[in-house]
Amino acid sequence: MTPFKSAALGRIKPSPTIAVTQKARELKAAGRDVIGLGAGEPDFDTPDNIKEAAVRAIAEGKTKYTDVDGIPELKAAICAKFKRENGLDYVPAQVNVSPGGKAVIYNAFMATLNTGDEVIVPAPYWVSYPDIALLADATPVIVQTRAEDGYKLKAPDLEAAITPRTRWVVLNSPSNPTGAAYSAADLKPLADVLMRHPHVMVLTDDMYEHLVYDDFQFATIAAVEPGLYERTLTMNGVSKAYAMTGWRIGYAAGPQWLIKGMAGIMSQSTTNACSIAQYASVEALNGPQDFLPTRNAVFKERRDLVVSMLNQAKGLMCPTPEGAFYVYPSCAGAIGLTAPSGAVIGNDEDFARELLESEGVAVVHGAAFGSSPAFRISYATATATLEDACARIQRFCAALR
């Protein structure tokens, strides 16, 4: 039959980061020597105590439908986490558990947005924010940040983007793709702007909270400005910190009217997140946290290696980010040059393609994250592999004419 599709599907594009990972996998399968630096997941395994909690849940028959937006045990663990780590008081009726952090955002936007509503998204952004807003038929309003500001949104730029149609502002710290993280002092001026616009909600995506380096103090906006508590959805998850990307558990806390709306969307779409993964997540949040600093020490060492090696590559400039496992070097110095294949590098997509062609290193071009010319490297990969990849990038840059 003739294929057909919804207008909603027509508004979005497939995830470019997944596309790069796929392309690298295909080239590898075809026998090419390829290093993929596109993946957005830790290369560590889920800790054993968490796996064992899942096995126990299966053995105990905790394998049935649960409450739509989360089991009471996990909601209690989430409330305790917010209190312990963020100084935020929530009760279980203010908590949502969804099948992944991405689903939290989807449920929140689906529950609140209508045609023409605006969602402010600072760029470079995680690729899903604008597209989930588009699925809900809202309009993403992209606000550029600057490398010299560490890719952090500044108060005057936020103020200028707010209109009567603004429904949400998205904050993400530490950031995917830049690794930039907002201190309490960075957040305060943004909170001051938002206090002047009481019709705007804040979605703060704190997914990489635990991945910060050099004694950086993580901060989240509802704690920095209690006046925003009623207007903030504080989102987090187990995917990155606990190396649980495949388990699909994300969570958030916010006003009860919103949490109720999100459960309404879930009740007619996914129903609950996986029961077994929910019990495993109780262990993740309540169990020992001592593996985090050990893993962070490895991530920090890799970040320092990658930043240093990229800054020695001709035409690249790489800021040192505070967190996550990404760096976002500018490749402005390579634009207009000719690659070994004879192709002229006109933009960051050309840069990424030529780099993959001539040196077999897969990175994600900056245009995918709304900010060019740059590219994203994920350093959640073995240190020796990163060293090899950065040496290849240096060689590629040196060969540009």
Q: Which C-beta is closer to ligand PLP: that of 173 or that of 372?
A: 173
The amino acid present at 236, given as its one-letter code, is: N
Residue 93 and residue 7: Cα distance in Å, rounded?
A: 34
3-state secondary structure of 36: strand
- Minimum separation from the CB atom of position 250 to ligand PLP (A): 4
Nearest Cα neighbor of 155 from 182, 178, 118, 188 is 188
Binding to ligand PLP (CB under 6 A) within 169-188 occurs at 172, 176
The amino acid present at 136, given as its one-letter code, is: A
Q: Which C-beta is closer to ligand PLP: that of 262 or that of 313?
A: 262
For 255, phi then psi, to 5°, come to -65, 145
Residue 258 and residue 108: Cα distance in Å, rounded?
A: 7
H-type alpha helices, 232-273: 256-267
By CB under 6 A, the count of residues binding ligand PLP is: 13
Instruction: Tell me the CA distances in angstroms from 58 to 52, 99, 287, one per residue in order.
Output: 10, 18, 19
- Minimum separation from the CB atom of position 216 to ligand PLP (A): 17
Angle between helical axes of 128-135 and 101-112 (0-180°, round to 10): 40
Residue 346 and residue 350: Cα distance in Å, rounded?
A: 6
Q: Which C-beta is closer to ligand PLP: that of 136 or that of 207?
A: 207
Question: Which segment (96-104, 181-189, 270-278, 357-365) binds ligand PLP by CB under 6 A?
Answer: 96-104
Question: Which segment (59-67, 99-107, 252-260, 266-274) binds ligand PLP by CB under 6 A?
Answer: 99-107
> How many Cα atoms occupy the beta-carbon half-sphere of 170 within 13 Å?
31
Q: Which C-beta is closer to ligand PLP: that of 245 or that of 312?
A: 245
For 233, phi then psi, to 5°, come to -105, 110
3-state secondary structure of 196: coil
Binding to ligand PLP (CB under 6 A) within 231-290 occurs at 237, 239, 245, 250
- Minimum separation from the CB atom of position 105 to ligand PLP (A): 7
Binding to ligand PLP (CB under 6 A) within 25-44 occurs at 40
Q: Which C-beta is closer to ligand PLP: that of 98 or that of 360?
A: 98
Per-residue string for binding with ligand PLP, 118-137, x by CB under 6 A? --------x-----------
Give the burial string for 3-37 (b: 16+ CB within 10 Å, else e).
eeeeeeeeeeeebbbeebbebbeebeeeeeebbbb
Q: Which C-beta is closer to ligand PLP: that of 250 or that of 360?
A: 250
Q: Which C-beta is closer to ligand PLP: that of 66 or that of 204?
A: 204
Nearest Cα neighbor of 23 from 41, 38, 42 is 38
Question: Which segment (45-53, 94-102, 331-339, 382-390) binds ligand PLP by CB under 6 A?
Answer: 94-102
Q: Which of 102, 167, 210, 365 binds ligand PLP (CB under 6 A)?
A: 102
Query: CA-based diameter of the chain, in Å?
Result: 64
Asked if 96 touches ligand PLP (CB under 6 A), the answer is no
Asked if 101 touches ligand PLP (CB under 6 A), the answer is yes
Q: Which of 69, 205, 354, 359 binds ligand PLP (CB under 6 A)?
A: 205
Q: Which C-beta is closer to ligand PLP: that of 172 or that of 372?
A: 172
> Rule CB under 6 A: which residues touch ligand PLP?
40, 100-102, 126, 172, 176, 205, 207, 237, 239, 245, 250
